[in-house]
Chain A
């Protein structure tokens, strides 16, 4: 016989685990003996197969028996758990309630975080899709300028030059277009002009029709399901006609499935990019303009840095005319993974407002803190109660329970709490989800099938919670020495209260930091909201203008509107003061000829500055009294003067490159800085250009300042005037303050969510404290009675009881305040305009928590300190 062979270790373990408890490892010898026989006769492989088969065969024979013993054990555990629940109803309810709130919060926060992190992952090739971002130094002369868009010409070269680029999609996008269906006009957005590779790179599916159709005939259009539902409810729109801006008819050839909400851009209409040429006469192969978005699908093994460098060499190869241009322009491209765009990209010309990764960090931290606070409650109350349960444990040990069995029993009890809380939380979360989604305006609803995908995550969460909450109490309780416990009993203070107090301190440190953050974030938001934007937002109505013919009759419209006495003044401009995001090239004498500078700008009429109450620090407004304004005049803001190093009092000129030629104009005034972009950003250089006398002045907005009085009547009047002059276009207005507020909407939503969860965390921590307070006073009932008999006053006794808690909370404050200061200072660092962190905020956070804690425990201490000592002492 050869040297004996051994079956694999893992199989042996498996078998040992399956076999009944009363079989020991010697039984495995039987298996091994037969294993060896078979191995000798028919080889190792068949022996192994036999061995594995034995494992399977053993299961049905054995589990039945094993189950019965397990069930009786579980029955016993359950019984004990239920008894202990009944005996300690208050503590148990606090535990369950805290766990439910904690887990529910965790589920809701994680769903939101998951939604945000999942952006653009639905594309089958999302791992290998990159967006090309452009950095062009010439655009700002001094600073480089990074854009989400790129040169149309570049995208055409990509596939020929680089074999690792499998496909290169590009598209132009139009927001605010007028579509007419059956004679009715509407404004729509997300109108995309795409190339053939679009569907190669992105995974968007058709509901009906073919993707190719729009490339075969450029006057074909694909619409989204939601657009189809909106305009053709219950009908099949394929074959019908949509009119674009009153100029071009598209016939519908297909319907695109709605784009998932977690895509960083949405699609409502799709046409071929040829239409850029056909409709707008735009050069779609140019190096001279930016404007399309480009996404490439890369081969797996591409080295990104290298490719970025090589793509950046393309302008040198095809575009720069000479070396000086090369040196000055220095255009470079970078690649952004598509999945990181939503949370980490904040370039110029992003398609939509992106999210913020910092918010994700904040939310993840909160979700974990809330869970930790709930677990600490459990640990504290369970160990506290254990002093009462000491006798039970003592008896168990005397009767012969091993430490392992006790640990198992306590972990089992914990898992009952955790599992019940988890199931209830899942139900509650499911019920809250619709409201939660609507607050966040994100569709984070989750279907049953999807939640199955999360099952492993949930199981891990449950196990982690059981271990976090249960392991310390299990080890602690099972360590009791039965002899001592049964003889003397276990008092509340027997050791371990250091741990308990430090856990409470940790809880409150977390709570204070959270409260502090909410206060600071709240104050900061309020500060931004109330900060003077530098222009008037009160009682101003704005109307967008799309009708090209109306643009020619702007002065007629202004006159008509001004006739009514309730309308104070009317102004036409290309942008509105709350969002001057257009930039255009500027050039000034002394600057190299082929260079230009890009600056935010707005072309305005003479009434603009007065209507919005903008202040001048030097010079004058645009005016009819100065005929030279018609030849070109500029007003710069202070930041622009500073950026150019110009003296506000000096005389300067600008060359304004418009309609293919430079128009030179004097700078007639300097404007006090006002916030024409988000409050989060530093005020940028800005110039206003006088639109009067400019043939190509195409105002996009009319601002109307109205006097006091019912706004509806005035709106009716304005609407009538507009429809009178431009009957084909729907009248849509907005109130400028609404437009301003909407920019801060996401922050307000997130702020609201943050507040809710902070309150929850404070409530959970407070409940834990309440539990401990009830417990301590119960333990000290007799002591209090005796003290009272000996002459202690109710006040002294309250102090005795509340003293310990107060000290805990003071210590928490000492830890939390510096930590909170550090964190909040870091957060505020992201803002250009921010509040100063003052002591008041910190003191109020500290006082708030202290008050909550003292009020929570005061009922209990009050009850104890005012109780008649006779009752408490005779209660046994």
Chain B
């Protein structure tokens, strides 16, 4: 299995956090809140599309709402494959970070 890229990881986590309410606007806000990154919608769609194509996420259509000018929400949710990849990413993270204390950073900061 391929390793997730950082931005894929963040997006998938955002979707996971949002649960049933993950669509364009909320995903963008969540990413901003979690990682302090602001992405343009255009870039977001490109990335989300890649996630869907790679099989990490799938999308389904919601109901149209008036504040969206009668357009429907496009919801995203994780696939099993996506959840698995997140798990792998987490394991990978903890294994490569193992044994490195916070002190190490404090020293270099000086």
Contact = CB atoms under 8 A, between A and B. Distances in A.
Interface of A: 1, 4, 6, 18-20, 22-23, 25-34, 36, 54, 57-59, 61-62, 65
B46 to A, nearest CB: 6
A30 B76 CA distance: 13
Contacts of B46: 20, 61-62, 65
Given A54-B41, A58-B42, A32 B71 contact: yes
A34 B61 CA distance: 18
A29 B42 contact: no
Interface of B: 23-25, 28, 40-43, 45-46, 49, 61, 64-69, 71-74
6 contacts: A1-B67, A29-B74, A31-B41, A33-B25, A33-B68, A65-B46
A interface, over-half SS: helix
Contacts of B43: 57-58, 61-62
B45 A23 contact: yes
Given A1-B67, A20-B49, A33-B68, 6 more contacts: A4-B66, A20-B46, A26-B74, A29-B74, A32-B71, A54-B41
Contacts of B66: 4
Given A22-B49, A34-B25, A6 B69 contact: yes
State the 5 A-B residue pairs at the shortest beta-carbon distance, nearest first: A58-B42, A29-B71, A30-B24, A29-B68, A61-B43
A26 B70 CA distance: 9
A58 B40 contact: yes
Contact of B45 (A27, A34, A57): A27
Contacts of A36: 67
B40 to A, nearest CB: 4
A24 to B, nearest CB: 8
Nearest to A34: B25
B25 A27 contact: no
B25 to A, nearest CB: 5
Contacts of A18: 42
A1 to B, nearest CB: 7
Contacts of A6: 69
A31 B72 CA distance: 12
Which of A22, A25, A27 has most B Cβ within 10 Å? Answer: A27
A532 to B, nearest CB: 82
A59 B25 CA distance: 19
A48 to B, nearest CB: 14
A20 B28 CA distance: 18
From B23, B28, B43, B46, name the one whose CB has the most chain A CB atoms within 10 angstroms.
B46
Contact of B67 (A26, A27, A32, A62): A32
Contact of A61 (B24, B42, B69): B42
Given A20-B49, A22-B49, A34-B25, A61 B74 contact: no
Contacts of B45: 19-20, 23, 27, 62
Contacts of A57: 40, 42-43
B72 A26 contact: yes
A59 B73 CA distance: 23
Contact of B24 (A1, A27, A59): A27
Nearest to A7: B69
Contacts of B41: 27, 30-31, 54, 58
Contacts of A34: 25
B40 A33 contact: no
A6 to B, nearest CB: 6
Nearest to A40: B67
Contacts of A54: 40-42
B72 A29 contact: yes
Contact of B71 (A22, A28, A58, A62): A28
B61 to A, nearest CB: 7
Contacts of A59: 42
Listed residue (B42, B65, B71) with the most chain A CB atoms within 10 angstroms of its CB: B42
Nearest to B40: A57
A26 B46 CA distance: 15
B76 to A, nearest CB: 12
A31 to B, nearest CB: 6
A706 B28 CA distance: 102
A179 B69 CA distance: 83
Contacts of A61: 40, 42-43, 46
A49 to B, nearest CB: 15
Contacts of A23: 45, 49
Nearest to B38: A57
B32 to A, nearest CB: 12
A22 B52 CA distance: 12
Contacts of A1: 67
A36 B23 CA distance: 16
B24 to A, nearest CB: 3
Contact of A4 (B61, B69, B73): B69
A29 B24 CA distance: 9
A28 B69 contact: yes
Contacts of A27: 24, 41, 45, 74
Contacts of A22: 49
A32 B68 CA distance: 5
Nearest to B47: A61
B67 to A, nearest CB: 5
Nearest to B69: A32
B12 to A, nearest CB: 19
A32 B41 CA distance: 11
Contacts of A26: 61, 71-74
A61 B28 CA distance: 15
Contacts of B40: 54, 57-58, 61
A4 B74 contact: no
A62 B49 contact: no
B74 to A, nearest CB: 6
A30 B42 contact: no
B42 A62 contact: yes
A32 B24 CA distance: 11
Contacts of B68: 29-30, 32-33
A25 B25 CA distance: 15
A4 B72 contact: no
